[in-house]
Chains A and B, each alone.
Chain A
């Protein structure tokens, strides 16, 4: 099963697990199943309209899903899905 890596501050919502194995063939299916298992994770990743929040980046192995079809990005059983925030700023 594909593995999802959980950022350290979000592990409080995944029973302290740093990675979770989730069944699914696309990023949408996998994140859907993950947030169904851990509902407290959902509001951290998705806004009220059900869209990924602007600061959430998702990678399949080392590829940003923005270049892989976003929610429809294909995920193989041996792949790793990683959640990484995007952070910037300025005065």
Chain B
């Protein structure tokens, strides 16, 4: 299960709403105690997809590297990646799956008419063929 702390969640939600109607993306930092992943820091990252960003996102590897270093500097782990689905539900699409990485939790935020609606977390497998849902615990 993945539990997102209040401060990190505020950052994720605000970022998803600010970037609407485009898809936003970012990194989640924290600690994994083996049972629960505790996210305490969210880092908004630039969506560098070359085409329309209403339906697609892409992270710059250099930005992921920077997120890794930031995590290391704080004695944390890079635990997951978040992105938004503007005016669509929080599901893990075929495109999400084909461009995923099994090392991380993937949190999808559904934003409707500029307002956060709901979120889900997914755990893609190594072969990028399926991504079962992961229990997601959001603040209050």
Contact = CB atoms under 8 A, between A and B. Distances in A.
A and B are partners in one complex rather than unrelated chains? yes
B96 interface: yes
Nearest to A56: B101
B26 to A, nearest CB: 11
A49 B96 CA distance: 24
Interface stretch (B58-66, B112-120, B132-140): B58-66
A53 B127 CA distance: 9
Nearest to B110: A91
A90 interface: yes
Interface in B78-94: 78-79, 81, 83, 85, 88, 91, 93
Interface of B: 23, 49, 55-59, 61, 64-65, 68, 71-72, 76-79, 81, 83, 85, 88, 91, 93, 95-96, 99-104, 106, 126, 128
Given A8-B71, A9-B78, A84-B61, A91 B95 contact: yes
Contacts of A7: 68, 78, 103
A90 B49 CA distance: 10
A88 B126 contact: no
Contacts of B104: 9, 85, 87
B56 A88 contact: yes
8 contacts: A7-B68, A8-B77, A8-B78, A84-B61, A84-B68, A85-B104, A88-B56, A88-B95
Given A7-B103, A8-B78, A9-B77, A91 B93 contact: yes
A90 B24 CA distance: 10
Contacts of B79: 8-9
Interface in A1-42: 5, 7-10, 18
Contacts of A55: 99-102, 128
Nearest to A54: B128
Contact of A87 (B85, B93, B99): B99
Nearest to A8: B77
A86 interface: yes
